[in-house]
Amino acid sequence: MGNLQIANYINENYDNKKLPKINKVVSIAGHYDGYLGEEAGQKAKIKDKKTGEPDIYSDGFKQLLPLRKHYPRQIEVLNIYGNKEDGSNSDGSVSVASAQSYKYLINGRAKSYREVEIKGKNAQHSKLHENKEVDKLLIDFLWKE
């Protein structure tokens, strides 16, 4: 399931007791505040590092704002994003700021929240899921106590 599908699923079903309870979420290259090429996705910056709030909200980001009030408190979050370090401050498709904006959406409600920035040529958007560093982060987060 993609990042926005997971966020929308939680947004729409947070109080549905008939569905499985989510305990862990891994976000890889999440475009919460848009893709490069979209105004917010390209221009937005994080205006408050502590909260993760962006200075521009994309339309999609605005639709996710209710998560700030009802993101389930039992969920542990690992947010992984790339920075090719080529001056774009992005993975080539998603800006670092767009990925970091997830922090603002969950508003300190998650049981835990960790951000990891992967840097260099292997931090390109479609290469992240093949990156050995990402693999280790996933294994440690999902299966280690």
Q: Is residue 14 part of a domain?
A: no
- The CA radius of gyration of the chain, in Å to the nearest whole number, is 15
Q: Is residue 16 part of a domain?
A: no
Tokens for 129, please give them: 């899921």
Q: Is residue 93 part of a domain?
A: yes
pLDDT one-digit tens code per residue, 88-112: 999 999 999 999 999 999 988 999 9
**pLDDT at position 39 over 90:** no
Q: Is residue 33 part of a domain?
A: yes
Q: Is residue 15 part of a domain?
A: no
Q: Is residue 17 part of a domain?
A: no
Q: Is residue 80 part of a domain?
A: yes
- Write the secondary structure of 91-114 as one string of H (helix), E (strand) and C (coil): CCCCEHHHHHCHHHHHCCCCCEEE
**Number of domains observed in the structure of the chain:** 1
Residue 127 belongs to domain with CATH number:
3.40.50.1820
Per the confidence metrics, is the pTM higher than 0.85?
yes
Q: What per-residue confidence (pLDDT) applies to 144?
A: 83
pLDDT one-digit tens code per residue, 110-144: 999 999 999 999 999 999 999 999 999 999 999 98
pLDDT one-digit tens code per residue, 43-89: 788 989 999 999 999 999 999 999 999 999 999 999 999 999 999 99
Rounded to an integer, the average pLDDT of 22-38 is 92
Domain residues for the domain of 108 are 3-7+22-143
